[in-house]
Structure 1
């Protein structure tokens, strides 16, 4: 997943230009641009993988794919709750939709069916999850903020679970997953950047499995449950 760039209206600059720049001094430790970027990326990941998990439980043709879907739903519901909590404490603005590129992943899988859906779901997820591991390690190693460290720990646990369960499907095309970057060189920044939330729009919530009312493929929600203010 590429470095996310938010408009200046959100107070987020190009993190790659100064990732070590301290932007705040909360009680939990100095907050850097890289820390803030990490929270936004975690949020965006859940906003597209959660509906993919829902699709997998309903459209998957194998028990293994359906099981992977359940792991995605449960994992991202829990992780998103933690992410929203951290963002609230650190005054970080979160997106309500994933990036256009991530939305395209959802649209592609939503249009597929059968074995093609199963294979592409497993392969795309393995590619994106594999790439996010290095980001987690980097943030966890250098951050001086205890809330960011805790979120990195939880994110690492969730991503490793998702990688393992996706690999257990036996459907990952590793040649594709490992050779084709999910953020190819030259891809416009706006394609890898989640759009800013609309002013006054309630914060989207990824509900736990027992309370889920999101429709599969509905990136950014649309239901009353998913759109409630946290």
Structure 2
């Protein structure tokens, strides 16, 4: 991978597939006690992070499925779209049941991921896509594990289970391209954040604005969400 790409990734990637900062300094604080179990600020942040992740990765997957230069890259793009659409449906369902407000746009950092990839072509696009998705999804596994082991809410627990499966599927898909720069991935997964909080926080949805829906592909192979019903 060229030096220019390494510098770009180094300045943009962190901390996870979401690029979303924890909005609270008291993650264990209880914010509600629904029938599905006590809800903490960490739980609420996690649901927002899942939503924000799909809002940048889904359109990037659509782009990859069209302009990827290899079959493996195009296939990875299709898997991103399929998995993110199903996970977003589960996320919106959970948020509705728990009264959690969701964003309609990803964070500024995540928007920069999408803008950069949209501007790239050929081998540069393929390599940047694979490395960016691998690094962000790899980092997010830590967040998922933390929430899964600490939450007392059954809906959040089920969402974490589905997020874990989706993230692992996406990691596998981009690794199959053979284009992941694992050295750069390791740097990004172990580097402390340097971006300001506003760059890592998705803007709140505009009042009265219809909720953005990530439409599943016609040939979707993802099983129905276990969080619904």
In structure 1, what is the equivalent of residue 169 of structure 2? 161
Coordinate RMSD, CA, aligned: 1.7
Cα-to-partner distance string for 1:149-204 (whole Å, 9 max, x where unaligned):
00000000000000011101100011111113598533100000000011110000
In structure 1, what is the equivalent of residue 36 of structure 2? 28
Cα-to-partner distance string for 1:90-119 (whole Å, 9 max, x where unaligned):
000000000000000000000000000000
In structure 2, what is the equivalent of residue 4 of structure 1? 21
In structure 2, what is the equivalent of residue 9 of structure 1? none
Equivalent residues, number: 203
- Sort the Cα spacing of 1:30 and 1:79 in 2 relative to 1 into closer, same or farther, 3 A: same
The separation in 1 between residues aligned to 2:101 and 2:108, in whole angstroms, is 18
Q: How does 1:124-203 map to 2 (within 5 A)?
A: 124-181=132-189, 184-203=192-211
Are the equivalent residues in 2 in contact too, given 1:183–1:192 (CA < 8 A)?
A: no
Cα-to-partner distance string for 1:15-59 (whole Å, 9 max, x where unaligned):
2x1111000000000000000000000000000000010010111
DSSP 3-state at the match of 1:29: coil
The separation in 2 between residues aligned to 1:104 and 1:184, in whole angstroms, is 19
In structure 1, what is the equivalent of residue 50 of structure 2? 42
Are the equivalent residues in 1 in contact too, given 2:31–2:41 (CA < 8 A)?
A: yes
TM-score by length of 2: 0.85
Q: CA deviation at 1:210?
A: 2.2
Match of 1:56 among 64, 74, 79: 64
DSSP 3-state at the match of 1:180: helix
- Sort the Cα spacing of 1:79 and 1:179 in 2 relative to 1 into closer, same or farther, 3 A: same
Return 5+ residue gaps in structure 2 as ranges: 1-15, 221-229
Is 1:99 matched up with 2:107?
yes
Are the equivalent residues in 1 in contact too, given 2:76–2:170 (CA < 8 A)?
A: yes
DSSP 3-state at the match of 2:90: helix
- Sort the Cα spacing of 1:154 and 1:197 in 2 relative to 1 into closer, same or farther, 3 A: same
4+ residue runs of structure 1 moved beyond 2 angstroms? 1-5, 180-186
Are the equivalent residues in 2 in contact too, given 1:36–1:92 (CA < 8 A)?
A: yes
Q: Which has the higher contact order (CA 8 A, sep 6+)?
A: 2
